[in-house]
């Protein structure tokens, strides 16, 4: 009788170790001057990269209000801060006015040093911030931004806030003599001539350049004017003075001002009549000019 052979070999399944290296979380890829993660750039669709900005209404939320004629809309600060600053950076505003730059700095976890010529306006704007914020995040200086000694006052505040220089410069000067903001002779809106306005503005630009960190950015918000029957391109005159101060020009943005200003109704009709009568066109825009310190 034949003996049946039995195969005693058993196939043993051995679990091999996974030799693949665990993938590390992707590190954010950011520029030195902002927190935008360029690995996920499609998530930043709210950041404008075109040269035409249209905002149908002024943002009046989160501490903002239209309580001072001539203040710029908060959406400009929102766009510029996210594009050109990091959290905890210091914004230096040399025409602080009603405090838009400071309010939005606090809203976006930035800090701000503002210089304002009028003491009564400094006192009023200070009430918009609590006492702790006025020590840690917002410092307001009453002074002349075009003066030779304002740099010392700014440096004192920078030292208190733990920085050698500011990381962003915001400039929103008077549009020459279109609106008189005070009776002070140092006020740029009281200049006797447009050339004097340019000279004082250049002094401000040079002071800002000195206190701005190298490689960082500045923004100039400015419009043009008509005077004695002719068009005066204040914006490009100031652009030239920014270049003289040492800045390089990065962008010229046209901002639609319709819906952001008050002059409507009967007043708008009056301006339309004047335009037809005088042979000029009504301003519907202003400029946001972006510069960099080399």
> Would you call 7 exposed, middle or buried from its count of C-beta atoms within 10 A (0-12, 13-18, 19+)?
exposed
The pLDDT value given to residue 174 = 93
Q: May I ask the CATH architecture of the domain 46-292?
A: 3-Layer(aba) Sandwich (3.40)
Strands 248-256, 52-54: parallel, antiparallel or unpaired by DSSP? parallel
Domain locations in the chain? 46-292
pLDDT at 63: 58
| pLDDT on residue 135 | 87
Contact predicate 181/174, CB 8 Å: yes
- For residue 9 the two structure tokens come to 């070999």
pLDDT, position 4: 44
Site of tokens 């007043």 = 267
pLDDT under 70: residue ranges of the chain: 1-25, 61-70, 260-266
């Amino acid at each position: 009788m034949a003996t049946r052979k039995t195969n005693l070999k058993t196939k043993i399944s051995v679990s091999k170790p996974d030799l693949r290296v665990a993938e590390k979380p992707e590190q954010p890829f950011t520029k030195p001057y902002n927190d935008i993660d360029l690995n996920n750039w499609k998530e930043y669709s709210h950041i404008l990269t075109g040269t035409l900005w249209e905002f149908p209404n002024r943002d009046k939320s989160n501490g903002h209000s239209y309580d001072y004629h001539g203040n710029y809309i908060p959406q400009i600060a929102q766009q510029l801060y996210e594009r050109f600053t990091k959290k905890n950076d210091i914004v230096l505003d040399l025409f602080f006015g009603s405090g838009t730059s400071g309010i939005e700095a606090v809203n976006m976890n930035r800090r701000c040093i503002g210089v304002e010529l009028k003491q009564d306006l400094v006192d009023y704007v200070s009430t918009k911030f609590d006492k702790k914020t006025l020590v840690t995040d917002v410092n307001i200086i009453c002074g002349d931004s075009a003066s030779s000694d304002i740099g010392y006052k700014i440096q004192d505040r920078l030292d208190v806030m733990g920085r050698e220089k500011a990381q962003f410069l915001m400039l929103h000067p008077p549009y020459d003599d279109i609106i008189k903001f005070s009776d002070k002779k140092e006020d740029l809106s009281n200049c006797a001539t447009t050339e004097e306005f340019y000279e004082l503005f250049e002094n401000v630009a040079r002071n800002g350049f000195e206190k701005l960190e190298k490689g960082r950015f500045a923004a100039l918000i400015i419009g043009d004017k008509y005077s004695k029957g002719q068009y005066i391109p204040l914006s490009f005159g100031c652009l030239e003075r920014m270049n003289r101060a040492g800045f390089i020009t990065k962008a010229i943005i046209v901002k639609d001002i319709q819906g952001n200003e008050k002059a409507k109704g009967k007043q708008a009709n009056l301006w339309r009549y004047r335009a037809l009568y005088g042979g000029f066109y009504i301003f519907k825009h202003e400029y946001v000019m972006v510069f960099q310190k080399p």
